[in-house]
Amino acid sequence: MIARLQSELSTDLSTSIVDNGAPAVLRVAIDMPRPMLFDYLPPPGIAAGEVPLGARVRVPMGGRDCVGIVAEYGDRAAVRLDALKPIHALIDQHALLDEALLQLLRWTAGYYHHPLGEVIAAALPKALREGAAARPRVELWRLRTAAAPQAPATIESLRRAPQQRSLLALLAAEPNGLPAARIGAQRPNWRTPMRALVARGLVERVEVEASAGTEPPPQSALRAPHEGARPLELSAQQRLAVERIEQACGTFAAFVLQGATGSGKSEVYLQCAERALERGLGTLVLVPEIALTPQLVARFRERLRCEIAVLHSGLSDAERLAAWRAARAGSARIVLGTRSAVFAPIRRLGLIVVDEEHDSSYKQQDSGCRYSARDLSVARAQQAQVPVVLGSATPAFETLHNLECGRYHGLTLPRRADQPQSPRLALIDLRAHAATQGLSMPVIEAVRRHLAMRGQVLVFINRRGYAPTLLCTACGWIAPCRHCDARLTVHRANGELRCHHCGAIEALPPRCPRCGFTLKAVGQGTERIEETLRALFPQEALIRLDRDTAAGQLKLEALMESVRSGEARILVGTQIVTKGHHFPGISLVVVLNADQGLFSTDFRAAERLAQTIVQVAGRAGREHSRGEVLIQTEYPEHPLLQSLLEGGYEGFAQAGLRERAAARWPPFGRLALLRASASAATTAMDFLQAARAAAPEIGGVRLLGPVAAAMARRAGRFYAQLLLESHERGALHRLLDQWLPIVAGLPQARRVRFALDVDPLDIQ
């Protein structure tokens, strides 16, 4: 009876709160792999409605304090109010995340079916996740209150301590105190005498929120305003593009800016951003790789008179925090960064630019929320009612489909009048021309011819290391990775075998460990091609550009500059060289391993191969006479290669979209992939079988599998996947909404790691 009365009393209390119309509880998003929000009472002495949405709070969770974000108000709790714990502390007096950004994060969590707390955590710098101040705090020194009235007499009494006397006089002239940076600028070596004044009880050190007079100088991730360079003269097509984007200011419109490498897309970005600045609006610019960031930042800084915040994973925690704060405060009106910068807090957002929008780096694939920064840019632009520009020479099939459907607006930039014609593409049939160490005779002769004409040569092979396989010619042993279903790659320069999937490293064995016979490196990587070209052209300067040689931004920039300056005559590189770099002297491009993507089980492989070929071909003949591109292949009659030669990327894409439509693959269908890994293959498969059996019946959604991943074992774990396919996006998401809570509650779920990937790029 007592328990019943207590329950009724609790219900009455909750009902009375609802009748008042005031929120009773705060629903907090915490960085945990759980989809729900957590209910808390407001801090003592503060009403729930006085805590702003988007503010950080410290809350008790499992015997420890966590930092969370207030995401919602609640009129009643999931449990009795007297069973709830109060928030320990309110970190932010004002919302850290404004309503627009909070809305974007909620949409992201909903679309990708990922816990909101983890999505928010991924959008914040580490220091903010740990409770650092939203605004910078500065070290301030001031006279103690009790010492202020006697300050003149005290100063006179310090004649035998001139440094202390000078410091005390300096602080006495500033009743509100002085920042440490300003003291150091006026009094070098001031710390020791200041400690003596503290010991005397005359001064004190405090930390205060930075203001206009105390703001510290920008970190290296920022740049102060300066006089910009004059804009370039636009071509008619560039001018039309800028005007159409300008006309969309204040409304949502998605533009696809398509143009060959060097056609002037960056100039369109710059002039659109400049016009947004003139209106007092901010601009978000996304690039796919860190390697591209310094180049674009340099161009923006040369031209635009504003502070630029840069956000990418290569920054230190302090630099990332400084850039984020500058964007939120509005002092940095342009934010330029990689994938995660899509969540940057920009004041009065007016324009979003996504450069190289086709690049797969925009999709988070490794861990956490598997979001697409390109797609989120479009969603953010729609929510904010601003234009978004998607730039590429080779737009993704999804982007081209949206163009055909009229959802996006096309803007085309033809080759500039001062540019040569597009490069000549030719196929080298390896069945007719034998290759020596990966290079056919026609290719060697072409390299010799272009070098003689003082051109530069780019040799592209998307495989680093010396060789992909180490083989025993006697017993057939192949060096395996002990942790993956993969072969170890030979890195002869370091005398190592490396796994490019799990990072395992072994010493290069002198002989076969099974039979003791001689070992042979089979196939080519960048190291081997470099060795071959050095032997063929010993008098020419050659550099290799891959992940092994470009370790660190400074090293990468030094290598790039040697190519741009013409010092390096031959460049051997991987995908890094296709990412929008400007190499004015290259006249010949050679693609060595084009056949890799022709027969893949991944339905996107052909699209990626075509984009890579066109992108790397765009390095040829940019500021020279017409360039030349040679593609080595054993399948010159393959439809993909033929369509590229005859119709360029546009012709290839049209044929590819027709094939996708017939098969109902994206963009004509919708996919989601449930991936699982475990220490045993059967454990992962059992979980996915149980997940499939638990799936509700939703019309129009098919479940395919489960099957083992193309590489079933990686880093000692076994991977499997279950594919969901639907012709209708709504049906797929309705199933996921109902299904995922069931999946998380399966007994088998405790023995695996699993993750959902909505709109996966790779389904192998």
- By DSSP bridging, strand 496-498 and strand 489-491 are antiparallel
Rounded alpha-carbon distances, angstroms, from residue 724 to 279, 675, 692: 46, 11, 10
pTM exceeds 0.75, yes or no: yes
**Structure tokens given for 208:** 């205060």
pLDDT tens profile 493-547: 889 999 999 989 999 999 999 998 999 999 899 999 999 999 999 998 898 888 8
Among residues 405, 351, 372, 287, the alpha carbon closest in space to that of 107 is found at: 372
Residue 427 has pLDDT above 50, yes or no: yes
Q: Do domains 236-393 and 424-465+525-661 have the same CATH topology?
A: yes
Is residue 166's pLDDT more than 90?
no
**Fold assignment, 2-129:** GIY-YIG endonuclease (3.40.1440)
Q: What angle do CA 338, 339, 345 make, to 5 degrees?
A: 85
Helix H or strand E encompassing 108: helix 99-111
pLDDT for res 223: 46
Side by side, the strands of the sheet bearing 137-143 are 178-179, 137-143, 203-209
CB 333 within 8 A of CB 283: yes
Q: Say what the pLDDT of residue 143 is.
A: 86
> What token pair was written down for 324?
């984020």
Q: First CA to last CA across the chain, in angstroms?
A: 61
The alpha carbon dihedral of 442, 444, 447, 451 has a sign of: negative
Report the chain's mean pLDDT, rounded to a whole number: 86
Furthest-apart CA atoms within the chain: distance in Å: 100
pLDDT score recorded for residue 416: 60
266: helix, strand or coil: helix
pLDDT above 60 (res 12): no
Nearest CA-CA partner of 413 in 251, 618, 252, 640: 618
Better-scored residue on pLDDT, 656 or 227: 656
In the 8-state DSSP scheme, what is residue 41?
A: B
DSSP assignment of 424-493:
EEEEEETTTS-EETTEEHHHHHHHHHHHHTT-EEEEE-S--SSBSEEEETTT--B-B-SSSSSBPEEEGG
> Within 10 A of 417 (CB to CB), how many other CB atoms are there?
6
Q: What is the pLDDT of residue 306?
A: 83
Confidence bin at 318 (pLDDT 50/70/90): confident
d(CA 752, CA 678): 5
Report pLDDT digits (tens) over 43-78.
888 888 889 999 999 999 888 889 999 999 987 766
- In this structure, of 220-229, 300-309, 525-534, 706-715, the range with the lowest mean pLDDT score is 220-229
Confidence band, pLDDT 50/70/90 cuts, at residue 21: low
Contact 290, 338 (CB under 8 A): yes
Token pair of 567, please? 């010092």
* Domain at 236-393, CATH class: alpha beta
pLDDT digit string, tens, across residues 353-412: 999 999 999 999 888 899 999 999 999 999 999 999 999 999 999 999 999 999 999 999
Asked whether the predicted pLDDT for residue 220 surpasses 60, the reply is: no
- pLDDT grade for 19, boundaries at 50, 70 and 90: very low
pLDDT in tens, 555-591: 777 777 777 777 888 999 888 777 666 677 888 999 9
- At residue 97, the pLDDT reads 93
59/46 Cα distance (integer angstroms): 15
Count of Cβ atoms closer than 10 Å to residue 120 Cβ: 27
Which contiguous run of DSSP H or E holds residue 333?
A: strand 332-337
Cβ atoms of 756 and 370 within 8 Å: the answer is: yes
% of the chain surpassing 90 pLDDT = 48
Ranges of each domain in the chain: 2-129, 137-209, 236-393, 424-465+525-661, 468-522, 670-758
Higher pLDDT, 212 or 711: 711
The pLDDT value given to residue 622: 54
Query: Residue 120 above 90 pLDDT?
Result: yes
In whole angstroms, what is the distance from residue 240 CA to residue 223 CA? 31
Amino acid at 351: L
Residue with tokens 């729900």: 36
Asked whether the predicted pLDDT for residue 747 surpasses 80, the reply is yes
Q: Please state the rounded mean pLDDT for residues 685-706.
A: 93
| Mean pLDDT confidence for 4-15 | 35
Q: How many CB atoms lie within 10 A of CB 197?
A: 24
Asked if residue 98 has pLDDT above 50, the reply is yes
Beta-bridge partner residues of 284: 335, 352
Cα separation of 463 and 591, whole Å?
12
pLDDT for the residue numbered 16: 32
Task: Please tell me the predicted confidence (pLDDT) of residue 490.
Answer: 94
In order of 177, 183, 192, the CA distances from 170 in angstroms are 9, 8, 16
Distance CA 527, CA 465 (A): 5
| Whether the Cβ atoms of residue 649 and residue 491 lie closer than 8 Å to each other | no
Where residue 334 falls among pLDDT bands split at 50, 70, 90?
very high
The per-residue pLDDT for range 244-281, each reduced to its tens digit, is 999 999 999 999 999 877 778 889 999 999 999 999 99
Q: CB-side exposure of 24: number of CA atoms within 13 Å? A: 20
Average pLDDT over residues 345-360: 94
pLDDT at 438 exceeding the cut of 90: no
Q: What is the mean pLDDT of residues 631-659?
A: 89
Model pLDDT, residue 152: 78
Residue 11 pLDDT greater than 50, yes or no:
no
Instruction: Estimate the share of the chain in helix, then strand, then coil, as percent rounded to the nearest 5.
Output: 35, 25, 40
Helix (H) or strand (E) holding 355: strand 349-355
Other beta carbons less than 10 A from residue 148's beta carbon: 14
The 10 Å Cβ neighbour count of residue 373 is: 23
pLDDT band for 472, please (50, 70, 90 cuts): very high
Task: Please give the CATH number for the structural domain made up of 670-758.
Answer: 3.30.70.600
Average of pLDDT values for 90-101?
A: 92
Q: Just give the CATH number of 424-465+525-661.
A: 3.40.50.300
One-letter identity of residue 532 = T
DSSP annotation of 248:
T
List pLDDT tens digits, range 287-317.
Answer: 998 877 777 888 888 888 788 899 888 888 8
List pLDDT tens digits, range 583-623. Answer: 778 889 999 988 877 887 788 888 998 998 888 887 776 55
